[in-house]
Amino acid sequence: MSAPTLDRPAAERPDEAALQRQFDATIAADRRIEPRDWMPEGYRRTLVRQIAQHAHSEIIGMQPEGDWLLAAPSMRRKAILLAKVQDEAGHGLYLYSAAETLGADRADLTDKLIERRQKYSSIFNYPTPTYADVGVIGWLVDGAAICNQVPLCRSSYGPYARAMIRVCKEESFHQRQGYELLMTMMRGTDAQRAMVQDAVDRWWWPSLMMFGPPDDDSPNSAQSMAWGIKRHSNDELRQRFVDMTVPQAAVLGVTLPDQELAPDPETGRYRFGAIDWSEFKQVLAGHGPCNDERIARRRAARDDNAWVTEAATAYARKHES
Amino acid sequence: MGHEETVYEALDSAHGGEGQWAFGTGFDEPLAGVDTTVPDGIDPADLGAYCLMLGDDALVLAQRLTQWVTAAPELEEEVAVANIALDLLGQARLLLARAGSVGVLGRSRDTATASIPDEDALAYFRDADEFRCTGLVAAPNGDFGQTMVRLLAAATTRLAVFARLRDSRDPVLAAIAAKGVAELTYHRDHAARWVLRLGDGTPESHRRAQAGADAVWPLLADAFTATDVEQRLVGAGVAADPAGTREEVVGVLTQVLDRATLRVPAWPADAPPRGRLGLHGAELAVLLAELQGLAREHPAATW
Ligand SMILES: [Fe+2]
Ligand SMILES: [Fe+2]
């Protein structure tokens, strides 16, 4: 991977102000910034942080559903779930590659995840006690991820935007598969219907929190919007998700756990109740039900297999010619 | 601008209707639309029993490999291991469906609701003594080195059988084998690449890979002995004789271990079939308890 141009010795560097003007013009024209283009250090850092967090979320996100891989209750469901979890590993790979085009290193980012110096989406710190959780994660969590990520297909950073196009296609597949599982369970036994409603009750509010804090409490958003890294505000994306999901819940025959949820005749959108942000902050701060378990699994995968990675490196060195 | 709008539109059209989406992903009924008539001169009970042997090997090995998902050495390996498990799961689904199509459904079929497919009745509602997998696939994974040695041995023996089954007189089995050969070749080569890297990597990886080979080799004791069912089906032109694969399997495994600078363990003396007759160690019961628990808890459910 070639180092970003800003690492060049000062003498070779064209006038920084001119570069900044060129960068601003590219952003203003809604064109893409590519790895070899000059970019402000803050832009690069913000992107690395955002892409790494996103990559970590894909990888940690394999675990809650992955816990059902061995016990999926039909051969078809097992195949669908295994393919989905494999997709998530693939998403992590594309995203780490996108971060590497900005000079980051995958092993280093993984270390930062394990040492809790970088975050991942809090949603994956909730447990999955029943198989309905697999369906609800597909429907709501992949659904919320789509609302967040579709605008990122137009991110100003080219490699990120291109990775997101591919990721979004697969996420929408996951969402449909999750919904189809729930639909099948709702047509099944009473016990299955109860499982679905219970899972919806547990996941609804955490999935609304996936869009991040409200706009008036989201300090970095304005700069990210100006840079074209972010396209819509947290509250706008959250509203889109609610509007998209409420009719789906009705078709499914489940109740969303919010007394205040109702159509607003003036805006044509849905009004919903207040979110408990103290819970969000608790989970984000590492005190969710499964934070320790999620990180411990990544740590074990790295440490228990370190001898394998070392062997692969040693073999490659011996046999390079 | 345009792109975002079209993605939303695609999602929108997806949640119209009654939640009925066509996936076209190949996840549905394994033998849908396939002519499952049994050719003359083939005993359906034998054919079904043979499909269980091959199907159970694939299902149980898929389950073992899936244990590595979220625990593998590198992300690339997460993807590869999941891929191999998915291939094997696909083979298992076809083979169990074939067994079901000739009326082999296991003695506990009636404990599950009639609406579940044959593949699920067989995978989820048979007890351990009705499973026909070998000890080679049922054994626990061990470390990553042992897992790769076992995968190498299992893929090599299965590939040798599948290559011959492409000429089976049962056209369904022949088609399953033809599809499986390409998959198994990839599995074998993937495992062989790891055995090379580990055997010829660091002193520690060499030691571990050797220990893996030493643990796996005894599991090959019944790999070349045919059951009565297999013998009859060999005579009918349906099955492959495992004895006929010995030279090829020994040749491949020896070559890989040699190149990996590993000592080839002593070949075990041929033993009579065990797993193929339903004789298993406790490790299979543990694996099946996890595989089947939820489905059995809700026998009236469809998923
Ligand atoms: Fe994903
Ligand atoms: Fe997904």
Q: Which of A182-191, A192-201, A285-294, B186-195 has the lowest mean pLDDT?
A: A285-294
Give every CB contact of residue B135 below 8 A, 6+ residues apart in sequence.
B219, B222, B274, B275, B280, B281
Q: What is the pLDDT of residues B131-172, one digit of tens each?
A: 999 999 999 999 999 999 999 999 999 999 999 999 999 999
User: DSSP letter string over B158-225?
Assistant: HHHHHHHHTT-SSHHHHHHHHHHHHHHHHHHHHHHHHHHHHHTS-HHHHHHHHHHHHHHGGGGTTTT-
Q: Report yes or no: A128 and A62 within 8 Å, Cβ to Cβ.
A: no
State the pLDDT confidence band at A279, using cuts at 50, 70 and 90: confident
% of chain A exceeding 70 in pLDDT:
95
- CA closest to B261 among chain A residues: A315
- Residue A12's pLDDT band, with cuts at 50, 70 and 90, is low
Lowest mean pLDDT among A109-113, A135-139, A316-320, B16-20: B16-20
> Is B205 in Cβ contact with A311 (below 8 Å)?
yes
Count of pairs with CB atoms under 8 A, one residue in A, one in B: 188
If you search the block for the tokens 């044509």, which residue do you land on?
A268
| Of A66, A153, A184, Cβ closest to residue B303 | A184
Among A56, A70, A75, pick the best mutation site for testing chain B contact (most B Cβ within 10 A): A75
Q: What is the mean pLDDT of residues B259-264?
A: 98
Q: What is the pLDDT of residue B2?
A: 42
Give B91 to chain A, closest Cα distance, Å.
11
Helix (H) or strand (E) holding A319, with range, is: helix A306-319
pLDDT, position B57 = 98
What does the pLDDT read at residue A9?
A: 56
Q: Are the beta carbons of A43 and B264 closer than 8 angstroms? A: no
Whether the ipTM is more than 0.90: the answer is yes
State the Cα–Cα distance between residues A29 and A25, nearest whole angstrom. 6
pLDDT > 60? residue B26 = no
In the predicted structure, residue B14 carries a pLDDT above the cut 80:
no
The whole-number pLDDT of residue A13 equals 63
Q: What are the pLDDT digits (tens) for B82-94?
A: 999 999 999 999 9
Q: With 70 as the cut, is the pLDDT of residue B74 above it?
A: yes
pLDDT score recorded for residue A218: 78
Calculate how far, in angstroms, residue B75's C-alpha sits from the geometric centre of ligand 2.
16
pLDDT of residue B1 exceeding 70 = no
Instruction: Give pLDDT tens digits for B99-120.
Output: 999 999 998 888 898 889 999 9
SS (H, E, C) B50-83: HHHHHHHHHHHHHHHHHCCCCCCCCHHHHHHHHH
Secondary structure of residue A270 in the 3-state scheme = strand
Q: Tell me the CA–centroid distance for residue A85 and ligand 2, in Å.
A: 8
Q: What pLDDT shows up at residue B158? A: 98
Distance from CA of B52 to the nearest CA of A (A): 15
Q: Would the CA dihedral through A131, A135, A136, A142 be positive or negative?
A: positive
Nearest to B10 among A71, A165, A172 (CB): A172
**CB nearest A83 (choices: B18, B86, B119):** B86
pLDDT at B16 over 60: no
> Residues 6 or more apart from A43 whose CB is under 8 A from it?
A23, A33, A227, A229
Report all structural domains of chain B as residue ranges with CATH numbers, in order of start: 42-297 (1.20.1260.10)
Q: Do B67 and A70 touch (CB under 8 A)?
A: yes
pLDDT over 70 at B20, yes or no: no
Overall pTM surpassing 0.90 (yes/no): yes
User: In the prediction, which pLDDT does A234 show?
Assistant: 93
A27 touches chain B (CB under 8 A): no
